Amino acid sequence: MPTLIMMHGMTGNAEMMRPFAEKILPDGWTLIVPEARYNHPVRGLTWWRYEDYDADATRRANLSRRELIDVDSSLSQLEQIIAEQAPKGPLIVGGFSQGGAMAQELLHLPIADRIQGVICIGTRLVRPMELRMRLDELEKKRMFWMHGERDVRVSLEDGFAIASLFEGAGWAIEMIEHKKGHMIPNEYHESIQEWLATFNDSL
């Protein structure tokens, strides 16, 4: 059976992500809810530390060299967690906000061959050029994409850039654009659960 790996967003933690992840988890699947290694200066944890936490700075198109070092460090952490905790077999990786960005970044690792689907909720690209080249090397898989029209943390435009990149690489994408902000609305939890359940028939 597949393993679902769901990652929290900036200022979150595993405890905050786990109830949602358990709710959408298909019967019989393994669940891993990793926790970011860096402390956020205000509260919670973060997968990478912004050099400036001003709202405009966190919406920059490109991360700084230091921020990308944090991303790579978090990737190494995730690779170790998956090696230690995930049974052999297919992986579905996803997350909210920063966690969704890290889910995409996992495709740079050798475990990408095991990843059958990616869930991106209210998130952005980290290294679009590198990811596009990497997707050309991988088999076409599936993505669940969701973003809020009123998201002021990660713009809808930045969210659409993910869908465009993966669609251009030949991935099958299920898209939900909702009317709310930077959140995972309860009314769409079932849609994610149903999307995950379709992997039971294809894997």
pLDDT in tens, 143-200: 999 999 999 999 999 999 999 999 999 999 999 999 999 999 999 999 999 999 999 9
134 pLDDT more than 90: yes
Q: What is the pLDDT of residue 52?
A: 73
Q: What is the pLDDT of residue 182?
A: 95
The C-alpha atoms of residue 99 and residue 102 are separated, in whole angstroms, by 5
Q: Where is pLDDT greater, at 53 or 131?
A: 131
Q: What is the pLDDT of residue 202?
A: 80
Q: What is the pLDDT of residue 110?
A: 97
Torsion (CA) 155, 32, 142, 145 in degrees, nearest 10: -20
SS3 140: coil
The C-alpha atoms of residue 146 and residue 60 are separated, in whole angstroms, by 21
Q: Give the CATH class of 3-202.
A: alpha beta
Q: What is the pLDDT of residue 86?
A: 97
Buried b (16+ CB within 10 A) or exposed e, 168-196: ebebeebeeebeeebbbeeeeeeebeebb
* Among the ranges given (43-52, 87-96, 114-123, 138-147), the one the predictor scored with the smallest mean pLDDT: 43-52
105 pLDDT more than 90: yes
Please provide residue 42's backbone torsions phi and psi, each rounded to the nearest 5 degrees: -95, -55
Q: What is the pLDDT of residue 55?
A: 55
89 pLDDT more than 70: yes
Q: What is the pLDDT of residue 136?
A: 97
pLDDT in tens, 34-87: 999 999 999 999 999 987 766 565 566 789 999 999 999 999 999 999 999 999
The C-alpha atoms of residue 95 and residue 17 are separated, in whole angstroms, by 9
Average pLDDT over residues 104-129: 97
Please provide residue 2's backbone torsions phi and psi, each rounded to the nearest 5 degrees: -70, 165
